[in-house]
Amino acid sequence: FSPDNVLIFAAAFILLLVFVLVEKKAADPLIPFKLFKNRTVSVSVGAGFLAGVAMFGAISFIPLFAQSALGSTATEAGSLLTPLMLSWVLMSVIGGRMLLKVGYRSISIVGFVILTAGFIFLALFQRETARFWLYLDLVLIGAGLGLTMLTLLIAVQQAVERTQLGIATSLNQFSRAIGGAFGVAIMGAFLTAGLAAQLNRAAQSGNAFLTVEQAAEFASNPNALIDPQAKANLPVETLDILQEAMAASIHRVFWVGAILSGLALLVAFFLPRQDESEKHATDGDAGEKMLMAEQTMINKRNQPSATNN
């Protein structure tokens, strides 16, 4: 860590501590910390944070993987998210309909299993693999996100009093957004470090098509892999080396996503069973809260795409 990074982290920690102290003394706090005494809320927020990492990581790095490592056009790379989004919407509907019968704990666990498997398969995807398997894998990731996002939101809403629904819903969305911000930053750091190491290794191996100077230049500015004109000006052998290095680097990113999704799966096991946590909700309340959660997800579903753009 550089001195600047240490200073930033120290300042962030101090500001967080000040925020917590002020919130504890506030008569009407933005985040009532007593909510975290409820196991369903605390576990759902933690799992939602990790799910946000996976969600924003997938949306941010899958198109980059297709364009820079697989040689796809910008249009083709963007269209890769279509099966992910369609699967997400479909499984959100299916999961929502099954929720009252199966329970949010079981659906969350199944969703995170699917999401983790999707990231593992994505990390194992090679440049020579048929594109069909990539689309199928994105369907898996979308299904995992669809089952977990809505379910965690409903779990939080069913665990609190009616007067706390707004705060609980906002807390769930906030944890996911913070997870996305941290996730993209962490995955981006892994990508940058991995790309520099891969290119430096290729240059020092005596490869005639990539010098040490070129490796350093491409590592600091890999736009040649997404700019059609820049790619056209590169020798085929050099472009192949760059794409292979980028593929290996983004694979590290997907492994990070798999590990964090697996961690979210472990967290989901701490969710109480539905009959243990529905102390504040009647059957009518549960149905009403489900409709509210579905409306919240509809309003938020396009937010990641807008953020990415």
- Summarize pLDDT for 279-292 with one digit per residue, the tens: 444 444 555 555 55
- Helix or strand holding residue 14 (H, E): helix 3-25
pLDDT of residue 123: 92
pTM (global) more than 0.75: yes
Q: Under a CB-based contact definition with an 8 Å cutoff, are residues 45 and 100 in contact?
A: no
Query: What are the domain boundaries of the chain?
Result: 37-308
pLDDT per residue over 129-160, tens digit each?
A: 888 999 999 999 999 999 999 899 999 988 88
Instruction: Please tell me the CATH superfamily of domain 37-308, with its number.
Output: MFS general substrate transporter like domains (1.20.1250.20)
Which pairs from 132-140 meet CB under 8 Å and 24+ separation?
134/66, 134/80, 135/80, 135/83, 138/62, 138/80, 138/81, 138/83, 138/84, 138/87, 139/83, 139/84, 139/86, 139/87, 140/87, 140/114, 140/115
